Chain A
Amino acid sequence: MRLSRPAVAIAGVAALALALSACASGAGSADTSGSVAEPVRFGVALPQTGDQAQYGEYFEQGFELALAQINDAGGVDGRDVELVYEDTQADPAQAASVAQKFVDDASILSVLGDFGTPATAAGSPIYQAAGLAQFAFSASASTVTDPGDYIFATWVSQEYEAPRLAEFAAEQGDKAAVFYHDTDWGLNTHGFFAEGAEDAGLEEVYATGYNPESTDFRPLLLAAQAADPEVIVLISYAADGALITAQARELGIDVPIVGISSIYNQQFVELAADAAEGVQTLSYFTPANPDEKVQAFIADFAAEYDVETPPDYAIRAYDALSVVVQAAEQAATAGELTRESLRDALAEGSDFDTILYGPITFADNRRVVDADQYALVIRDGAFELRD
């Protein structure tokens, strides 16, 4: 028999698919055979590929560290904890399919993720309708928990954080040039920042949104420079914030720079190098926090991944899993651990331990309302407590 090329191709693809599904099911059965009781399983929706993959990498660092520690300590109710990762590329269209996949898998008790508001929001109606709790630990929009009582969010509302940043910036000067992400998060934050700035007596002489993926900020910085600001405010992530900082210093703009908590990442220092010196931020996290748990976490993280300070996103992921596991433990103690009892435990429980915020309790809108922040400054390539 002579096969035509298309037939060979189709056969090849089919064989590959078979092999893949065999791998998948093989891996699944290998994991379950180890422990006596069925493992407690949580889904994770995150970008493992595509343009946002670097955030997915941070997530996995946090999750894997938390998972290892939880299982070493005996898991939940004597059962091992297992994470099921699904790649969404942070694409809302795929996030909806992944949400349904988790909903269909009856062994999944809660889902953590996704990265950013769009992909998170695309999954929410499906989780809500199915009664599966979505733990949105990296979506900041003020509307994120609106789809219903199964959606929880840990990002502190910008309503509290942004005005504080305005006060913080006002300490440095009266006239501010503000750079914010032209995204849902950036626009919201800037809105609250502007209100706070008025109260703090800080004048916004220049404010501009920008695409986080842009690389050339010189035209914006030149326009900002023309407005003669006394302080530059970054409502940015670490990578793009570092780029703005570096390019500002290269252009000879040497006014103080303050950034919002999400620039807190060693990557900021690595990318901006010398330009990072003196940049200040308000952060929920500081390596200088004397709390025993925080110090232990920093040591463990450094031992596992060989970095001095854990990135903000890894901490958020670590906390997300540990909060859900604490709630699961409470639900299992009170009765049977189900999707519903886990949701109730999250809603009704109080003072869940976290690294980032300290103990947290969810408010009526299932969000973390507020938490203390530390004033940090970059000195000699490290974030230090500002005195």
Chain B
Amino acid sequence: MDILLAGIVGGSTYALLAVGVSLIFGVSNIVNFAQGSVFAAGGMLGWFFAEVLGWQLWAVLLGVIVFTSLLGFVIYLIAVRPLRAAPGIAVLLATFAAGIIIDNTSQRVFGAETRRFPPLLERSNLELFGFRFGTIAIVIIGVAVVCVTVLAIVLAKTRVGRAIRATSQDAEAAAQMGIPVARIQAVSFVVASALGGVAGVLVGMYFSNVSPSMGFTAGIQAFAAATIGGLGSLPGAIVGGLVLGVAEAFGVALWGDSVRQLITFGALILVLWIRPNGILGRRSTTASEPMTGTFFGAGKPVRLNRWVAVGLIAAGALVPLIAGDYLLRTGALVWIYALFALSVTLAGGFAGQIVLGQAGALAIGAYTSALLVTQAGWDFWASFVAAGLVAAIFSVVITAPTWRLRGHYVSMATLATGAFIAALALNLGGITNGARGIFGIPRPTVFGLSVNSATGMYLLTFAILVLALLVVSGLGSSHLGRTWAAVREDEIAAAASGIHPAAYKSLAFGLGSVLAGFAGALYAAQVTFIEPSQFGISLSVLAVTIAILGGLRAPMGAIVGAVILVGIPELFRPLADWRLLFYGVVLLLLILLRPQGIWARSDRVLGRRRRRASVESEVVS
């Protein structure tokens, strides 16, 4: 009983955050990755008001609400509004970049240290069934319920509420009916961010401390809670939060803290399998959702002349002649990440499914290869092949029920799967050595010789990447590639022509996972030490970012993207403490300027220019 209560209080902290995630999704159909960062910023600011300035609770809350509302508006203005016409995934990545910027700004402003949040409310003055809790716990539950009730009344009774509901049902129709859709979306960001800020203060008080980096995990939990409850449903967010909180409390009390992630993502996967729209969610009324094929038309891949391609390969292979070892060591990492991102290109660019969990396949590959080489004494190349196969088999089996889902839900299911695999690696200590990790992984061998030098690793990874690139390009222009294109462009038409879309998506994903598994084997050999926490959600997002920024439709894009996204942080080394902040800024700028990818021509821009040209010619004549 006491554990149940602990779960309810813990779950209501998730619920408070999940309401914001759900609200934004409902109105704008956007998964807002910055929500957790707003939460953390609210917590840090609350600490500053309360501890440093010594404000009262009401003043702290008011100040944080004002600030985070503004922050939400700025996020909308900078990261969301400019991408109205871009693919949904670009917005997701933009909010992710905004999150990096917020986290690191807060870290620069308040310092990276964990801070004590002053107890403005009692934390242990009440007792029920032997569980001691405080006013703060009641307040958290109360605020969550009040917020949802007020929101529900606003949504049901007021003009703004009706406009919000209309927008969430069908934004285009709403716009035609004269509803200022953009303003309504802005309102949803402001309200959700204000809620996030309040959550930061309350949760900070409940746990008694806050830190600038607490947002990411909290954001993911909230996102899982919102999805479990039903994205877009506000009561669902509360129910989802409580269900998750209680499940975690019991799981953690029984089996320890390491099962927390297992439960979060396991529950998320189960819900998506059994009831994709969540416990309280309704089936979406709009037929086409973002992230499906129709939006990828925005950019066409740049075609490479054969001789240019040969020249590029030669240039890549000759880099060791002029570059130092540091550049080569980084270069090997770039090629590994490019290979990793190619797996996203296969599933996303070819079959039209954005997969957000490829770190899972990478992890399986890395562990398979590392274990076979260190424990079973296999040769690197045998383990390399096994890494690809095992990664593909695992990924395909785990995601098999996913492919009948559409749009966002596929991305979420794969995200959950990837995170679930990392959690498994932590919990299956008998096989993976758990949190201890695997030490001293040997470098690959070629003809019995160990490839230890920077040049060797560079050339090896480059050669594998080029091979993979050729195979993937070949696949793209093959019969199979055209079938994928059919599924991507119009799933219903493809199904009507006798193509089984789910099977083809699964095939693209499986082949992609082979590449991710290969990349994992190389990663293990490059880094020589692996442990579960290296394969988190951020790594999956990195793979997608590389693929999208490079140009999702072209295999070459993965390489361009990897060079930029691994290169920029290296280039920013002189910035020291500010490095990650600037990385976030550049990432956001790149997404804003090139949502269709760098390695792609933009039809949209061309069209506009042509239109402008014709207008000008009319004026002249």
Residues of A whose CB lies within 8 Å of any CB of B are 4-6, 9, 12-13, 16-17, 20-21, 23-24, 27, 48-51, 53-54, 56-57, 85-87, 89, 91-94, 96-97, 99-101, 103-104, 117-118, 121-122, 124-126, 129, 141, 143, 146-147, 181-184, 186-188, 208-211, 213-220, 222-223, 239, 242-243, 246-247, 249-252, 267, 270-271, 273
Contacts and interface: CB of A to CB of B under 8 A. Distances in A.
B574 to A, nearest CB: 4
B553 to A, nearest CB: 17
18 contacts: A6-B593, A9-B594, A49-B107, A53-B107, A53-B112, A57-B111, A92-B530, A93-B523, A101-B329, A118-B529, A122-B527, A141-B436, A215-B207, A215-B214, A219-B250, A220-B257, A252-B132, A271-B208
Chain B interface secondary structure, helix, strand, loop or mixed?
Answer: helix
A129 B576 CA distance: 27
A150 B249 CA distance: 46
B573 A188 contact: no
A246 B208 contact: yes
Given A5-B605, A250-B132, A184 B437 contact: yes
Contacts of A53: 107, 112, 213, 577
A217 B208 CA distance: 12
Contact of A182 (B7, B116, B258, B576): B258
Interface string B546-571: 00000000000000000000001111
Contact of B114 (A9, A146, A271): A271
Contacts, number: 221
B507 interface: no
Chain A interface secondary structure, helix, strand, loop or mixed?
Answer: helix
A89 B440 contact: no
Nearest to B337: A93
Nearest to A23: B574
Nearest 6 pairs of A and B residues by beta carbon: A210-B257, A100-B329, A49-B580, A53-B112, A250-B124, A24-B574
B598 A6 contact: yes
Interface string B279-312: 0000000000000000000000000000000000
Given A49-B580, A208-B257, A186 B208 contact: no
B326 A57 contact: no
A89 B583 CA distance: 13
Contact of A86 (B112, B116, B325, B573): B573
B381 interface: no
B207 A243 contact: yes
Most chain A beta-carbon contacts within 10 A, residue among B213, B324, B326, B526: B326
Contact of B134 (A48, A101, A182, A250): A250
Contact of B440 (A126, A147, A250): A147
B37 to A, nearest CB: 13
Contacts of B131: 222, 251
Nearest to A8: B593
Contacts of B421: none
Given A99-B329, A184-B436, 4 more contacts: A6-B598, A104-B326, A122-B528, A129-B452
Nearest to A85: B576
Contact of A219 (B13, B104, B253, B426): B253
